[in-house]
Structure formats: C-alpha cells, structure tokens
Amino acid sequence: MSRPHAAVAASANEADQPTSLVLRFGAERPLALDGGGSIGPWQIAYQTYGTLNADRSNAVLVCHALTGDQHVANIHPVTGKPGWWESLIGPGKPVDTDRFFVICSNVLGGCMGTTGPASLRADGDGPHAVDFPVVTIRDMVRAQAALVDHLGIESLFCVVGGSMGGMQVLQWAASYPDRVFSALPLATGAKHSAQNIAFHEVGRQAVMADPDWKAGRYILEGTRPEKGLAVARMAAHITYLSEPALHRKFGRKLQERSAPTFSFDADFEVESYLRYQGRSFVERFDANSYLYLTRAMDYFDLAADYDGALVKAFKGTKTRFCIASFTSDWLFPSSDSRAIVHALNASGASVSFVEIETDKGHDAFLLEEPVLFATTRGFIDAAARARGLDGTGKL
C-alpha cells in the first residue's frame, strides 16, 4: 500500500493510522451553494497518494460514492479496514500511484472531516444538524475545485468515480471542461431515477422515525438514531447487490442452526448479513449526513442545467471519456450509461463504452472485476500517452 501524504498522527499509537489533511476556508471565503446563499467558514478533508510531477499534470481526482470517504487507498482510521478502492488504486494498479498523484476528498455534507451537518457552527453553538443547508452534487464539485486550486493544479489528468462518485465525475466534466483531461464515470447516471429516489426516501424515513433522531438534533441530546440508520443501510445495501449474487452467496441457508426457530430472530444467513451491514455502518457514519447525501443524489439531473438537453452539458468538450456499466446493476442500469454515451457522441466527444458481464450488481465497480481493471488500465495508459506523460507520470 502506498503511504498517503497526511498530517502528523495525534499520538504514537496512531502512527500507522493516517490522519487526513484538512484545508480550511475562513468566513471571508464562503462556498456558494446551489440552494441559495453560502456556507463559511468551511473545510474539506482529503488524502493524497503518490507524487505530483513538476508541471502538475499527473493529478487524478477520485470521487467517492454515497457511503465512502477520503480513505480510498489507506487503512481506514475508524474501521481499521483497507481503503475502499485499493483493488484499483495503488502502486502498479490501474490507477498507479507510482505514476500519478491521486487526490480523494470527503464530500461536502459528509462526516469524515469535511463540513457537514455534524460540524460545529461558527458561533460554537453546537452542530449544524438539520439547519445545515441542503447541498447538491455541483456544490460538492465546487468544494473539490477549491481544493484543487489550493494544490496549484490547473488541469486534472483524470477524474474517476462510481455511483455518486460518477455523478461528480460528470459534473466536473460539465462544469470545468477545460480542467478535466480524461474522465471515468462508472456505474452511474446523468440523473437519479424515480425508483432510486424512492429507495432513498425509505432510508430517510427509517432514520427520521427512530425516536433517537430527536428531529435531527441527536448530538445535542446525547443520543444516536442507530436503529433507523442501520435499517436505512440494510435497505440500501440490497440495491447494491443482485438476486443471482444473493442466491449464490446465501440462498435460503440457515444461520448456524439446522431448523427454523419459528421466531423473528435472524434465521437465514442473508438476514444475519444485512444486520451486520447495518450495525457496522452506524459505527462510522453520521445519520444526518446520510439524509443530506442521499438528497444530493436525488436532486442530481445534469441535463436540467442545460434546458433538459444532456448533449449541451458536453458541447465542445475536449475531455476523453470512458464509461462502464454492469449487466446486473439495477440501481444504475446500462441504459443510464448509454444515455450518457449517446449525448457525448452527439457532442462530438471522444468516448468509449464497455458493458461488463457480471452478476455482482451495482457494487461490481468496487470489487475484483478483471474486465474493469483491464479497461481502466488501458484507458488511463492511452490518455497518459495523449497527455505526453511517460511511464513515471513525467512529461
């Protein structure tokens, strides 16, 4: 694992637990928001890996999905688990940290160091909670652009992400076409479907129905809506999988018993698995952040900013695109990716598309998928040659 550039650990026993870098903006540098108004002071937490070359042309921005964070390729300081995309990012991997300078930040509204609903108000009067302004995907990208500016990077070699991260990739390409040389949006869409909005609303209602949510002010009340957030995670996790994958892994197998208990205990392995997913999620995620980030995904509709014509979002773009979808992904089906590809083709953009055969569902972009790795490596290598970068990431 490549070591990230990180702040000094808080204590000796945390020496192997990287602490995120945090970029802070004072009240004199507020961040404008799509919903009106602005927020300031504010901050963005991030990790970097690899080395930025002399002319700052080898930077890769990684955008995380709904429940991800900046710890993309290092041991997570809360869970102790490997980075969430270490299969794709690291020395010698498709996103090679021996060649590229990789940046990954926690999104605006998140809960791993970037300003969000759990952040303290500027006046010190407790956390923002549900008084925090509703944010959009474009707000997240605007915050990332401020970070990239701070790092002195005029143009990103590549922006890559899946699911909500893929939405950010598309927004980057639309908002900052001259700053994105290549783009890899995976398992995503240019807008959220009614079905996806519906699933998110179920999750939000589960959180808000928990008595410990306390109208969103649970931190001040000294409670946590753990049960509601766990149920939200369980429901969402089902959408990340596929029926064949669930059947292959669990079927109707019982959990450590030879016969049903005829109760509402977790008789089936799949029930036990979902309960574990729910319990482990609440240990690292803030409930209000879950509400805000799902809402940001719901509001995402890239074409809406261009008179409903997606092709206008990419008009005249010089960005190189590679789009990937997965046959068993019913959260963001291949038809969503094809709509993006058609718009890019109509705009005259350079675009390639691959639909990967797999039964692993939406989460396939995070898993061991040889075709995805080969596609990503081939696209990045070709883009690097076009950029004039050699095998070391230098010009």
Closest to 115 in 3D by CA, of 37, 31, 34: 31
Q: What residues contact 260, with CB distance under 8 A and at least 6 apart?
A: 254, 267
Query: What is the rounded CA–CA span in Å between residue 19 and residue 172?
Result: 27
SS3 105: strand
Question: Of all residues in the chain, what percent are helix, strand and coil, respectively (each to 5)?
Answer: 40, 15, 45
> What are the distances in angstroms from CA 137 to CA 2, 134, 313, 318?
29, 10, 15, 22
Query: What is the rounded CA–CA span in Å between residue 91 and residue 56?
Result: 19
362 flagged as catalytic: yes
Query: What is the rounded CA–CA span in Å between residue 193 and residue 301?
Result: 9
Query: What is the rounded CA–CA span in Å between residue 294 and residue 64?
Result: 13
Catalytic-labelled residue, pool 2, 87, 119, 163: 163
Catalytic-labelled residue, pool 96, 329, 336, 363: 329
C-beta of residue 95 within 8 angstroms of C-beta of residue 101: no
Catalytic-labelled residue, pool 64, 128, 200, 362: 362
| Lookup: tokens for 275 | 């309960």
C-beta of residue 227 within 8 angstroms of C-beta of residue 212: yes
163 flagged as catalytic: yes
C-beta of residue 288 within 8 angstroms of C-beta of residue 129: yes
Closest to 286 in 3D by CA, of 233, 241, 331: 233
**Partners of 156 in the beta sheet?**
180
Kindly tell me the burial class for residue 43, based on how many C-beta atoms sit within 10 Å of its own C-beta (0-12, 13-18, 19 or more).
Answer: middle
Residue-wise burial string across 350-360, b where 16 or more C-beta atoms lie within 10 A, e elsewhere: ebebbbbebbb
- DSSP state for residue 376 in the 8-state scheme: H
Where in the sequence numbering do the catalytic residues fall? 163, 329, 362
